[in-house]
A and B are shown apart, each in its own frame.
Chain A
């Protein structure tokens, strides 16, 4: 049975159709990459799935339950966590306290929340930053803290929205390792929105490509890289005519 099932999902903002009849399935423990040019509707899709936006039409089933009409905090409590593209983490809380806020979703006990937070921080190799304020950390570590906080809610599925944006190659390697750890060792399914192609091609088991709100392709990374429609979407019609669709 699929962990997440998105069925003909559409989202309108006034006259603009940001998501147009998107359907896909995600198996438990899968790592799916979601790519597409700027404005393709990737973050909107996340926001619809996570309950931030009400959908215009369509259906979202998570873990056997219809979550289409649920609000963001209700979706989160069912085991669907996410990170945000621009958000870092609460600057006046320490790293540990940030992660504890996530853990508090499942336990009212301060002691337990603290223990769980410390375990997650160790897992993501952030243990030595636990007592620092988030605002004192470099951006890459801040991004990892937002992932750790989301993991505090013990999700079955984690939506990561451009966690590698603006990072240098070394930091990207580190984040990739963390994502793999979350997926392989913790067994959490992940959907990854990413512009850093190297990261998304190397980590994802499967890719979905959006363009102008529509799903234009779906498949293995190597298939997607050779897909003519995808190349058109990224590089334009003329590039494909001139180069004969030789891959990305």
Chain B
């Protein structure tokens, strides 16, 4: 009960922020009812998806300071679990999603145990490697469709199918995700002020001091990594039902892992609203850039150049992202 109360406790947030958040929530709630294009709606769905990925990343990467560049493997585990269970045994989303979480979290424990013996850049590189290895395995594994991937064919179901999350119109997906989005925020709000959340911030600051306060540093990181993984896997499962065709190359690629980390870092790693701000800036930008420039020969890689520029600017100017700028301005006003 106390945990539930704490999840809804935003009392440490400035009133202005909460007003803005409420305004944004209201906007998101009514957005599909406005006369918007299908493209805009699809972009917003991507915004939710990457916000949630970013929130997950923010637990271990932001509050914990462990730069994880291998989250795509868990998108894959979630997406593949849901697709395989659906097309082979007709197991619907609401059952396959938790199974996907269990598998993803189990996998995260197996690789997290050795990974967290590493620190800093070595940890980051190792996370990339594990993710790419899993992708390579999936590309040759016939059971999961190898490099061709798997497809959910919507003709076999009668949409709207809320149990299997098979819909014709994006608006259904939009609202299901909106609920996930709100739950994701509440969980993150609980997490950041939970025992583990505080311990993680102490670890980020100084591991020796954290140990002297009775914190099992290695285990705390593994646990948080599992939480981040659960977020990503849930959304991966959703993604499979939404996109209906998955293959290793687009569910588990390095791009996805980097984009996930980038959302949170651009918005503000280790802050409650950071991942949402990051996704809110980056996803529309990416989506529309692709739309405008994608057709022009020789400009297809523009979005990648954009990420590179963002990474450079963040690391040189403001490691705490957009939220870091907001806080700096606030502190200056106070004094």
Docked CA distance A90–B212 (Å): 14
Give the complex CA separation of A87 and B209 in angstroms. 8
Instruction: Report A-chain residues with C-beta under 8 Å of the C-beta of B215.
Output: 73, 101, 105
- Stretch of B176-184, B197-205, B282-290 at the chain-chain interface: B197-205
**Distance between Cα atoms of A150 and B198 in the complex (Å):** 15
Query: Does A108 sit at the interface, judged by CB under 8 A?
Result: yes
| Residue pair B201, A84 in contact (C-beta under 8 Å) | no
Closest chain B residue to A111 by CB distance? B2
- Minimum CB–CB distance for B10 against chain A, Å: 14
Query: Is A113 a contact of B211 with CB atoms below 8 Å?
Result: no
CB of B91 within 8 A of chain A?
no
Chain B binding site: helix, strand, loop or mixed by DSSP? helix
Most buried by A among B201, B205, B209: B209
Contact partners of B211 in chain A: CB under 8 A:
51-52, 71-73, 76
Task: Report yes or no: B208 in contact with A52, Cβ–Cβ below 8 A.
Answer: yes
A110 to B199, CA, bound (A): 12
Q: How large is the interface on B (under 10, 10 to 19, 20 to 34, 35 or more residues)?
A: 20 to 34
Confirm or deny: A149 has a beta carbon within 8 angstroms of a beta carbon on chain B.
yes
Give chain A residues whose Cβ lies under 8 Å from the Cβ of B2.
Answer: 109-111
B195 and A84 form a contact (CB under 8 A) = no
**Cα of A108 to Cα of B6 in the assembled complex, Å:** 13
Number of A interface residues at 8 Å Cβ cutoff, please give it: 31
Instruction: Find out whether the CB atom of B212 lies under 8 angstroms from the CB atom of A72.
Output: yes
Whole-angstrom distance between the Cβ of B3 and the nearest chain A Cβ: 9
Q: B194 contacts the other chain (Cβ, under 8 Å)? A: yes
B213 an interface residue at 8 Å Cβ cutoff?
Answer: yes
**Which residues on the A side are within 8 Å of B217 (C-beta)?**
73
Apart from A76-B213, A97-B201, A150-B212: 7 A-B pairs, beta carbons within 8 A: A52-B211, A72-B208, A90-B209, A105-B214, A110-B6, A110-B194, A113-B195
Q: A residues engaging B (CB < 8 A)?
A: 50-52, 71-73, 76-77, 81-82, 84, 87, 90-93, 97, 100-102, 104-105, 108-111, 113, 149-150, 152-153
The residues of B with any CB-CB pair to A shorter than 8 Å are 2, 6, 193-195, 198-199, 201-202, 205-206, 208-217, 270
What are 26 A-B contacts with C-beta separation under 8 Å? A52-B211, A52-B212, A71-B211, A72-B211, A73-B213, A73-B214, A73-B215, A76-B212, A76-B213, A77-B214, A81-B212, A82-B212, A84-B212, A92-B270, A93-B198, A93-B201, A100-B198, A101-B202, A101-B215, A102-B213, A105-B213, A105-B215, A110-B6, A113-B195, A149-B213, A150-B212
